[in-house]
Amino acid sequence: MTLFREIYSLLFTLFLLIVASLGYVQFTETQDFLTKQMESDLNNASNSLGLMLVPALETGDTAAAETLVNVIFEGGYYQNIKLTWLVDGKQQEWHNSIRIEDTPQWFLDLHLFDTIKKESTITSGWLQLAKLEITAHPGFGYHELWRIISNTLIAFSLLFLVAILFARIGLGWILKPLHTISDHARDVARRQFSPDMPLPRTSELKEVVQAFNSMSAQLKQVFDSLDDEIATLRKKTLVDQVSGLPNRQYMVSRLNGWLNEPSNGALFLARLDCLEEIHNRYGYQIRDETIRLMSIQFKAQLDDIAPSLIARISAVEFAFLVTNVEYEKLNKYLETLIRTINQEITKADCKPNEHYAIGIAERIELTTVTDIMAQADNALQNALQNNKVYQWHSIHEQQIFTREQWRAKLNSAINDKQFQFRWQPVLRTDTGAISQRELYCQLQLGDKLVHAGQFMPYVDLLSLGSQLDKCLIQALGEHDVFAHNPEPVAINLTLESIISPQFHAWLDEFLRTSAHTKHICFEIPELGVFSDADACQTLCDIIRKHGAKFGIDHFGRQFGSMSYLQKLRPNYVKLDQSFAYYDEHQQNSELCRALINVAKGLDIEVIVTGIQEKIQLERFAELRIDAYQGYIAPPIQLELDAAEDMYANTVNNG
């Protein structure tokens, strides 16, 4: 029971007791008063009748005596009169049946009034004429008592209702700060820290609000400090202090993650020997300032061409990881990189296109980190030996299809739902049970099966992301994958779907008509959160409204604040695959621990990805992760027709 109801019930009970007490006092006082009034009336009637009967008794006129008694009966509440003539002992007795109006019978049956009698002797001088006995009828008492009690109850009832109404309104106003505290407490429980509550007028409640505001501020400070700790650890562990760019360790970990994801692109290695020349000529301070300014220009100029990761991996070497782009875009990226380097080294009096070289290695199937780093380095060394500005690792292979061919084939595949599916289990760390299954798609083009790494860059390039997501979700729904699978199915959403209002409206309608939303999970890449936080919030609200779940994929990849977790409140986060490849250096462990603590502190499940071997999993044993995923439990083929048949058989057998 709420505090409001407890206080309200207490006031209700106290008021009821007061009303009952007042009613009882009023009842007994009225009863006593009416009893005395009837006794007084009986005395007056006995004296009056005795005086009126003297002449009739002296003359022995029986008829006159009877007439006088009838007059008395008609004028009052009397049920019996007995007259005994003392001269001859003759008795006369009169009975009067009085019907009491407007008084219920059950009230009369309570016998609240005792029988009242009055005996007197009628005399004439010293001569005793007769004895008179009058018995009062209690009808007057019952009638008056019922009328008074009824009016009192009506008045008390009206007063009671008015008092209860005012008590409810008054308590609601007085206890309003407690409702605010309750709402604030729920927000704090969800780790959502709203502004301080205003102080109420009531001194006791003011102290409670002050204490709660202080507690909320301290908790917020704790979570802010965790966010600051992550930023500090990232800066120490993953950021080059001179350039402000990610370091070699972060680049290698991202390469591992990238090569285990469906994607394409290339790795650029740039060796800038001109920086040593600047160092020898002007000193390390000018060299470091040149590196810092050059890094700023890299990010400003190259991010407009294609999404990329730029890192400083040694004193004079930079690495550029360009993902999800086609060959033409890689060429444009290279041209912009060369132009930016020339602009910056010219400012330091170095000649353009001299004392630096660039090696490029494109990603191919089954490439490892060691392979692509070696290929890029070989291309770089060849460029240096041959006095070239840049060198590709090998002649660019012809693409499977041109852009327009990809457009036609992807549109046809989406319309005809020519996709095949694989799914990978996510396993609980405590029991080994399957927590969910993450879905992957492949495209069937004739007799050729194309994996996501080959067609997803063109899906993004041709703005087909939301259409693809709709197609995949509909296909899964039509084949009852959500219905028959006991574990939730996780679906990765593209960036286009995350920011598209049309997709939001479509998903809202799909989930509204779906009967199995509890078995659907949507995964949002962390990049999508930082790209458009408002659109992401809208999408998450739609998913949560219909009972589906969502998680943040590639958690910890982006260099930004983790405060978005408090706003979005995802069901789970998936640590970026790069964390699975960190060594056992203490700062790396502390960074993982801090990221996990932020999520766990918000009651969000943590799933680590990219686990290939048990030795990797053991590295996370002390970090309280909830589940893990990787090729330690590889994906398996999902046959939609078989899934549909399985569901149909389950229904029929049921």
Phi, psi of 8 (to 5 degrees): -60, -40
Query: How far is Cα 376 from Cα 369, in angstroms, rounded to an integer?
Result: 11
pLDDT at residue 646, as a whole number = 45
In what helix (H) or strand (E) does residue 376 lie, and over which residues does it extend? helix 369-385
Per the structure block, which two tokens stand in for 216? 């909320």
pLDDT at residue 552, as a whole number = 96
Q: Identify the top-confidence range among 145-154, 157-166, 323-332, 547-556.
A: 547-556
Does this model's pTM top 0.85? no
As a whole number, the mean pLDDT across the chain is: 84
Report the range of poorest mean pLDDT among 53-62, 91-100, 261-270, 322-331: 91-100
If pLDDT is split at 50, 70 and 90, which confidence band does 399 have?
low
Nearest to 561 by CA among 286, 261, 234: 234
pLDDT digits (tens, 9 = 90+) for 156-210: 888 888 888 887 787 777 777 767 777 776 676 666 666 777 777 667 667 777 7
pLDDT digits (tens, 9 = 90+) for 304-344: 888 899 999 999 999 999 988 888 889 999 999 999 999 99
pLDDT at residue 647, as a whole number = 44
Mean pLDDT for 80-107 is: 81
Per the structure block, which two tokens stand in for 64? 């006159």
Mean pLDDT for 30-36 is: 86
If pLDDT is split at 50, 70 and 90, which confidence band does 4 have?
low
Q: Identify the top-confidence range among 63-77, 309-323, 584-598.
A: 309-323
Report the range of poorest mean pLDDT among 98-107, 514-523, 582-591: 582-591
pLDDT at residue 299, as a whole number = 92
Q: What does DSSP say about strands 117-124 and 127-136: parallel, antiparallel, or unpaired? A: antiparallel
pLDDT at residue 586, as a whole number = 56
Mean pLDDT for 420-430 is: 92
- Within its chain, how far is the Cα of 131 from the centroid? 92
Mean pLDDT for 602-618 is: 89
Mean pLDDT for 458-462 is: 85
Query: How far is Cα 264 from Cα 256, in angstroms, rounded to an integer?
Result: 13
Report the range of poorest mean pLDDT among 125-134, 385-394, 534-543, 550-559: 125-134
In this structure, are residues 598 and 566 in contact, taking their beta carbons and an 8 Å threshold? no
pLDDT at residue 29, as a whole number = 87
**Per-residue pLDDT for 268 more than 90?**
yes
Query: How far is Cα 485 from Cα 437, in angstroms, rounded to an integer?
Result: 9
pLDDT at residue 652, as a whole number = 41
Report the range of poorest mean pLDDT among 128-142, 287-301, 576-590: 576-590
Instruction: Report the largest interatomic distance among the alpha carbons of the chain, rounded to a whole angstrom.
Output: 165
